[in-house]
Amino acid sequence: IQMTQSPSSLSASVGDRVTITCRASQSITTYLNWYQQKPGKAPKLLIYAASSLQSGVPSRFSGSGSGTDFTLTISSLQPEDFATYFCQQSYSAPRATFGQGTRLEVK
Amino acid sequence: QVQLQESGPGLVKPSETLSLTCTVSGGSISSDSWSWIRQPAGKGLEWIGRFTTSGNTNYNPSLKSRVTMSVDTSKNQFSLKLSSVTAADTAMYYCARDRNVYDLGFDIWGQGTLVTVSS
């Protein structure tokens, strides 16, 4: 299953509402997870099962979608949110595949 | 809380075998499934494989012929071996707790260890 994210990079300002899209090559129902990765750090799980917020993750992060199309939304960007975001499908678990990533940069 | 720590040589020669270990602390390795994931510099994430302490292993088809995973429950450690390495295997290697079969994702990651393949 191929995962395609868009855009590949995105410039935004603190306070902006940001949406990142992930598309699967076939239906994965809601078996979709989102991760945040900062430079030099391991990825961090933000959202699992398409829309469930991982414990400790701020509520400004939300996920939606089902089937083949999914979105990660940050309602009001904070300085610590500038990072790279990856989606990952677990429909074919244990085999996992990731999107190519979306780099969120300061405008 | 559960923490993971990767260890192993940072430099491996071409055609040799890459060997890494992940140590689990703060919990039992027998309680979960565990995966290895790698990331070349500036690129995306690639799942390498998963194992369970009940003995099941699953590998990425693109790497299957070269990958072996094993566990030492007495040391709360699991290991990765990747044979016949080339420069294309140069990457940051992460171990992670794998809860995907419960639709809970890779919820805990090690900090990663950089492996460079070079003579």
**pLDDT per residue as tens digits for the range B61-112:** 999 999 999 999 999 999 999 999 999 999 999 999 999 989 999 999 999 9
Whether omega for the bond prior to residue B40 falls within 30 degrees of 0, making it cis, is no
> DSSP code of A58?
-
> Is A48 in Cβ contact with B103 (below 8 Å)?
yes
B88 touches chain A (CB under 8 A): no
pLDDT for the residue A8: 97
Q: How far apart are CA A79 and CA A13, in angstroms?
A: 9
Q: Give which of B51, B54, B94, B103 to mutate to test A binding, by max A Cβ within 10 Å.
A: B103
From residue B99, how far is each of A30, B13, B29, B83 by CA, in Å?
A: 15, 34, 13, 27
Q: How far apart are CA A84 and CA A35, in angstroms?
A: 8
From residue A14, how far is each of A11, A35, A79 by CA, in Å?
A: 10, 20, 6
Q: How far apart are CA A98 and CA A86, in angstroms?
A: 7
> DSSP code of B61?
T
> Is A42 in Cβ contact with B45 (below 8 Å)?
no
**Would you place residue B52 in the very low, low, confident or very high pLDDT band (cuts 50, 70, 90)?**
confident
pLDDT single digits (tens) A23-55? 999 999 999 999 999 999 999 999 999 999 999
Q: How far apart are CA A12 and CA A22, in angstroms?
A: 19
CA distance B22 to chain A (A): 14
Q: How far apart are CA B90 and CA A21, in angstroms?
A: 29
List the single residue in A41, A90, A101 with the smallest CB-CB distance to B103.
A90
Residue B38, pLDDT > 90, answer yes
Burial group, residue B1, by CB count within 10 angstroms (0-12, 13-18, 19+) = exposed
List the single residue in A30, A88, A101 with the smallest CB-CB distance to B105.
A88
